[in-house]
Amino acid sequence: MTNTISALPGQERYVAPIEETPLRAVDAVDTDAPATSMWADAWRTLRKNPLFIIAALVILFIAFVAVFPRVFTNLDPNYCTLDNSRGAATAGHPFGFDLQGCDIYARVIYGTRTSLTVGIATTLIVILLGGIIGAIAGFFGGWIDSILSRIVDIFYAVPLLLGAIVVLQMFRSSTSIWKIILVMAMFGWVSIARIARSSVLEAKNLEFNTASTALGSTPMRNLFRHIIPNALAPVLVVGTTSLASYIVLEATLSFLGLGMPSGNVSWGGDISTAQTMLRTQPMILFYPSAALAITALAFIMLGDAVRDALDPKSRTE
């Protein structure tokens, strides 16, 4: 039998007794299933994504080349002799020689270390600096948010490439790889700060923060233990994609003569040297350009795969 709940005529509702509507198997909770999280779901999605697998394999190979360049060549990339200027490919020199008589293959191999060092170090500094500033601004709000947001706006108004060129030109007398990293990080953290601020603003109003506060957790504990981990996904996505931008930016600065010092091998510097021979011997320009393009493309593909995995909407489509 069903129970009739009184209402206006034509609006009666009928509720079946609980014994006639048992909990179905499809509605039951599997208590033996392992606990899941956003990161675990993202990893399961990444493992099934061909884009991620290809990008990860290419990046692992590039990292291996950067860490162990002597596995691929025993030649000194800085050993150059004009007797080999613009020489063709020979045994042991598969890419030939550039205008200065340097082995192109060795310089492409050793240039990998420079690009990865600059890209990874700059990305880590940018994520750390921008993430902390954005998280503090979004969490505390008020005058703290106003001051930090205005500082972000000031740096955001300066284009990254233009700002790096101006600062490096001012301190051109002492050029080092760490100075280039710090200059790029000085103008690159603002985009991460804006994203971290918006993510923290969204995460701090969710139920888990309210429950943690009700249990006696301090604001700083909530920020670093609960809010930042839950707001980290968009920051990592942008940071992974930006890594390719920093690699290209370092090559651009080296191309303009403001990048690596003379003792460091750089793809951008080799591209700058080879541009005068674009019509006569384009392959001298092709090899460092191809290495730069493949490395940047691999990190862009990785960023796209991570974005798809960490975006719940893309996983449900």
Q: Count the Cβ atoms, other than its own, within 10 Å of residue 116.
A: 20
pLDDT of residue 19: 63
CA dist., res. 193 & res. 234, Å (int): 11
Q: Where are the domains of the chain?
A: 58-311
Give me the helix-helix angle, 142-156 and 177-203, nearest 10°: 140
Q: Helix (H) and strand (E) counts for the chain?
A: 13, 2
Structure tokens at 101: 């008589």
- The set of residues, in sequence order, having a beta carbon less than 8 Å from that of 97 and lying 6+ positions away, is 84, 85, 86, 87, 103, 104
Structure tokens at 133: 């500033």
Residues 231/289, Cβ–Cβ less than 8 Å? no
Q: Which CATH superfamily is domain 58-311 in?
A: MetI-like (1.10.3720.10)
Q: What is the pLDDT of residues 121-172, one digit of tens each?
A: 999 999 999 999 998 888 888 888 899 989 988 888 888 888 888 888 887 7
Q: What is the pLDDT of residues 170-208, one digit of tens each?
A: 877 767 788 889 999 999 899 899 998 988 888 877 777
φ and ψ at 177, to 5 degrees? Answer: -65, -35
Give me the residues of the chain with pLDDT under 70, please: 1-38, 174, 311-317
CA dist., res. 245 & res. 247, Å (int): 5
CA dist., res. 212 & res. 292, Å (int): 47
Counting every residue written for the chain, the total comes to: 317
pLDDT of residue 224: 79
What is the CA angle 283-288-291, rounded to 5? Answer: 115
Own/partner pairs, 273-276, CB within 8 angstroms, 24+ separation:
273/98, 273/99, 273/100, 274/98, 274/99, 276/99
CA dist., res. 200 & res. 134, Å (int): 8
Give me the helix-helix angle, 267-274 and 104-140, nearest 10°: 130
pLDDT of residue 215: 74
pTM over 0.85: no
Structure tokens at 14: 């009928």
pLDDT of residue 35: 53
